[in-house]
Chain A
């Protein structure tokens, strides 16, 4: 276990080093930060002075070494637009994103496993066919479109009146087709302070309602992906010899599905899932923009628009770190579930 963690730590450093070099290297192509920091009226001589002062004229690797030295102390410089340390800016935005990702992950885990398993056990049932159809739609519609449709349907509300409104049955049918709207779809509402920069939406029902639409739209691509993945894996496992043998032993179908098959199904799903949680953090850029969710994604877009290079670099580093951490955790979990993997490196 310890050996595994040390090895992973070494890997993590390597990955972080590569990410830092790349993210630092793109800064030259992101526009002129001086332009963003000062007004039109500032003369060229002052601009040159400022540039020299900020060290923007130094050779690339000098700049990088300076950056790396500071980064080792978690000092990624000052954000040009917020005028405060970038780590502070990130820490302020991180909780919102993490809560959104957590809510989405919960949604995906709670829904994809039962739906995936059901549609593998009963592949011909109309319900599983419906799930498969809807999931294809979910995968193929881009997140921002899903988000806009969700806002229209559940935040603004739509009124369809194809049936006569003056009859009781017509009004009832119209009511079925129409939606009330009223779901919050802008920002986080009034999240409750937990500690430090952490404000949470999870503590009250009202806070949770703010999470619903963003989480659904963020899940709209991953959830169908996982349903289909679980279904496909489960179908394959159900064909295997050991499932047949379990049947020949007289084991109940329930135990075969949920002990024999599900455990084997989850192995590849866990592997893919670990990578996808990281991807989810990246996807938040779109969702947070549409819902004006005050998280890292929205902040990152802002930073790009205004060429806030230190903030961009910090964001990339933090997201890289999240990737590395989730992957390590997933490998740990995988090792616990799969007996053929020995984390300790002890010979089997």
Chain B
């Protein structure tokens, strides 16, 4: 069994007009030391998925169903006291904006020491020694002075290093990084990502990396999920998905990369925008934007309009698309006929 297993995760937001379903049937797993990428447009549910792992979704959000099993323990219905043992200790998080993540009125040292003290019975002196060691690991210049500095005295890149150091403080099994480089300068982005990758590899830490940068995903992760409107629509080995995307949405995302456009011409894009979660289209949520919704006769496929697609296996990947399902079935029929 994998270290972390998420099955049929269902997260809803209780709003005045009724529940809005932010995540449906989300399944994935993560082995020890494995790195998983979660990609998708804004609003696809990537961050909600990350935060629901440790039940940190802000009210009115709540986990309505499904299971999150970590190291044999069920996390989804666990009380706050139990989760607190795991948060920051065995699963830690890195947030998007380093300028907002550190408390402005507490020194870096205080924010590191309190985390250690929350999980271990150690003296402040020992905690500071460990903090210093971790600050050294994230290659912050003159770490001794940083401990007594306040967040505003550090640059964005340095703050993100501090946050990575905090995430590594207790040698966790998994780090969940929610767009860790989005708020940073492009040059700093690469540095921080390299550092994170290096540290995860060195300490055999599992990584759940949420991003909309497909380049980063392909460099850092071994497997990836593509999310759309609260569902996983494609998952599998990162290399296979990047090289040979099956789902029309994934194809669209990869086509939209600036490198994919012919020089001098406009960038490719997926027409339309992500639907509102409270008002999803019928059938496949992607069908109004999908270029493959029509079948061979030029008529819209009935299944695409009416039925939510289930997963089909295509190579090592799993894809939720009626068109792909048709192709796969066709191939299987063809190969069977050949054999006969």
B105-A337 in contact (CB<8A): yes
Number of A-B contacts (CB under 8 A): 78
A244 and B86 CA atoms in complex are apart in Å by 15
Mask: chain B, 130-153; 1 = CB below 8 Å from A; 0 = not = 000000000000000000001011
- Given the complex of chains A and B, what is the CA–CA distance between A20 and B105 in angstroms? 39
For B56, the chain A residues whose CB sits under 8 A away are 244, 247-248
A250-B119, A253-B80, A340-B150 known; A241+B101 contact, CB < 8 A: yes
- How far, in angstroms, from A253 to B150 measured CA to CA in the complex? 22
Residues in B whose Cβ lies below 8 Å from that of A245: 93, 95, 101-102, 163
The answer, among B87, B95, B118, for a CB contact under 8 Å with A241, is B95
Beyond A248-B93, A250-B115, is A340–B152 a contact (Cβ under 8 Å)? yes
B113-139 interface mask toward A, CB cutoff 8 Å, 1 = contact, 0 = none?
Answer: 011001100000000000000000000
Q: What B residues does A260 contact at CB under 8 A?
A: 103, 106
Q: How far is the CA of A126 from the CA of B232 in the complex (A)?
A: 41
Instruction: Judge whether A348 and B153 touch: CB under 8 Å.
Output: yes
C-alpha gap A253/B84 in the complex (Å): 10
B240 at interface (Cβ–Cβ under 8 A)?
Answer: no
Hey, which chain A residues are within 8 Å of B105, CB to CB? 263-264, 267, 337-339
The answer, yes or no, to whether A54 is at the interface (CB within 8 Å) is no
A339 to B92, CA, bound (A): 27
B107 adjacent to chain A (CB < 8 Å): yes
Q: What per-residue 1/0 map shows which CB atoms of A216-259 lie under 8 Å from chain B?
A: 00000000000000000000000111101111111111010001
Inter-chain contacts of A337 with B (CB < 8 A): 105
Q: Chain A contacts of B114 at CB under 8 A?
A: 249, 251, 255, 259
Are the CB atoms of A259 and B106 closer together than 8 Å? yes
Residues of chain B with a CB closer than 8 A to A248's CB: 54, 56, 87-88, 92-93, 95
**Which residues 78-114 of B have a CB within 8 angstroms of A?**
80, 84-89, 92-93, 95, 97, 100-107, 114
Q: Give the contacts of B49-78 with A (CB-CB under 8 A).
A: 54, 56, 58
A250 surroundings in chain B (CB, below 8 A): 84-89, 115, 118-119
A244 touches B95 (CB 8 A): yes
Q: Which of A166-202 contact B (CB under 8 A)?
A: none
Contacts of A247 in B (CB 8 A): 56, 87
Q: Which residues of A contact B102 (CB under 8 A)?
A: 242, 245
* Bound Cα distance A132, B68 (Å): 39
B97 with A241: CB separation less than 8 A? yes
The complex places the Cα of A264 from the Cα of B106 at a distance, in Å, of 10
Taking the complex as formed, is B166 at the interface, i.e. its CB lies under 8 A from any CB of chain A?
Answer: yes
On whether the beta carbons of A339 and B152 are closer than 8 Å, the reply is yes
Name the one of B54, B118, B166 contacting A252, with C-beta atoms under 8 angstroms.
B118
Question: How far apart are the CA atoms of A241 and B101 in the complex, in Å?
Answer: 5
Contacts of A339 in B (CB 8 A): 104-105, 107, 150, 152
Which of A250, A253, A255, A259 counts the most chain B CB atoms within 10 A?
A: A250
A129–B31 CA distance with the chains assembled, in angstroms: 48
**Which residues from B are CB-within-8-Å of A348?**
152-153
Q: How near does chain A come to B178, taking the closest CB pair, in angstroms?
A: 10
Residues of B within 8 A of A244 (CB): 56, 58, 95
B326 to nearest A CB, angstroms? 43
Q: Give the docked Cα–Cα distance between A338 and B105 (Å).
A: 6
- A residues less than 8 Å from B95 (CB atoms): 241, 244-245, 248
Q: Which residues does chain B contribute within 8 Å of A246, judged by CB atoms?
A: 103
Q: Interface centre among B88, B92, B103, B166, by most A CB within 10 Å? A: B103
**CB-CB under 8 A for A241 and B152, given A251-B114, A337-B105:** no
| Smallest CB gap from B55: residue in A | A247
The complex places the Cα of A246 from the Cα of B153 at a distance, in Å, of 20
Which are the 6 A-B pairs with shortest beta-carbon distances?
A250-B88, A249-B88, A250-B87, A241-B100, A339-B150, A248-B93
Please list the residues of chain A having a beta carbon within 8 angstroms of any beta carbon in chain B. 239-242, 244-253, 255, 259-260, 263-264, 267, 337-340, 348
B residues in contact (CB < 8 Å) with A: 54, 56, 58, 80, 84-89, 92-93, 95, 97, 100-107, 114-115, 118-119, 150, 152-153, 163, 166
Task: Identify 20 residue pairs between A and B in the complex whose beta-carbon atoms are under 8 Å apart, listed by A's number.
Answer: A241-B95, A244-B56, A245-B95, A245-B101, A247-B56, A248-B92, A249-B114, A249-B118, A250-B118, A251-B84, A251-B88, A251-B115, A252-B84, A259-B114, A263-B105, A264-B105, A267-B105, A339-B104, A340-B150, A348-B153
